[in-house]
């Protein structure tokens, strides 16, 4: 993660752009995340209303969404739920990942995308991590011409929204 961020900062990391079929990407991720969720008996659902394509780096997009989904498992409660919902709205492709986990405290909300930031250590002492996943995720989204936001309620869960321009708009933005 550190090496990736160093290369990104020094402009050494180049994206290998291609037409990415999000449905295929998420079908694979869905299978992977179900395995991770088994230990905590977390239910995972995936809903896609249509076929979705974006212009992007398939490996980095997988990394982005795997980071978000691993966090949804890591910070969830036993028996909780994760929902992945992909839809189109106003010429944008939106990926919504929600969980029923511990949520983010209001004081931590503005810092969660900062490098090395880990929310209140006493709440997640047993949860391993470097505090780089969300920073990397934000970088990947922004390099794809998109945005990432979230909303959260402590002890109820979080919702992450990743918004990309549709493929035809994304191609121009990524040149």
Q: 80-108, pLDDT tens digit by residue?
A: 999 999 999 999 999 999 999 998 887 77
Nearest to 138 by CA among 107, 166, 168, 117: 117
Measured at the CA of 89, the angle between CA 68 and CA 111, to 5 degrees, comes to: 35
Q: What is the pLDDT of residue 16?
A: 83
Measured at the CA of 143, the angle between CA 159 and CA 82, to 5 degrees, comes to: 20
Tell me the pTM. Answer: 0.81
- pLDDT band for 118, please (50, 70, 90 cuts): low
3-state secondary structure of 149: strand
Percent of the chain with pLDDT over 90: 63
Helical spans, DSSP H, in 39-158: 58-74, 106-109, 133-143
Tens of pLDDT, residues 127-147: 544 456 788 899 899 989 999
Tens of pLDDT, residues 146-175: 999 999 999 999 999 999 998 654 444 444
DSSP annotation of 126 reads T
Tens of pLDDT, residues 10-39: 565 677 889 999 999 999 999 999 999 999
Specify whether the CB–CB gap between 84 and 45 falls below 8 A: yes
Q: What is the pLDDT of residue 105?
A: 80
């Amino acid at each position: 993660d550190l090496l990736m961020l160093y290369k990104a900062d020094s402009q050494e990391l180049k994206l290998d752009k291609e037409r990415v079929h999000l449905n295929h990407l998420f079908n694979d991720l869905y299978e992977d995340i179900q395995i991770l969720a088994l230990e905590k008996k977390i239910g995972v659902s995936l809903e896609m209303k249509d076929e979705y394509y974006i212009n992007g780096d398939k490996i980095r997009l997988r990394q982005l969404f795997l980071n978000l989904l691993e966090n949804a498992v890591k910070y969830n409660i036993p028996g909780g739920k994760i929902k992945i919902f992909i839809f189109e709205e106003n010429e944008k492709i939106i990926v919504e990942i929600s969980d029923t986990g511990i949520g983010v405290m209001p004081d931590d909300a503005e810092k969660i995308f900062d490098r090395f930031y880990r929310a209140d250590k006493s709440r997640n002492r047993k949860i391993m991590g470097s505090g780089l996943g969300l920073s990397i995720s934000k970088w990947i989204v922004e390099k794809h011409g998109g945005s990432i936001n979230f909303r959260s309620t402590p002890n109820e869960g979080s919702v992450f929204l990743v918004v990309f321009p549709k493929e035809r708009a994304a191609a121009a933005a990524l040149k």
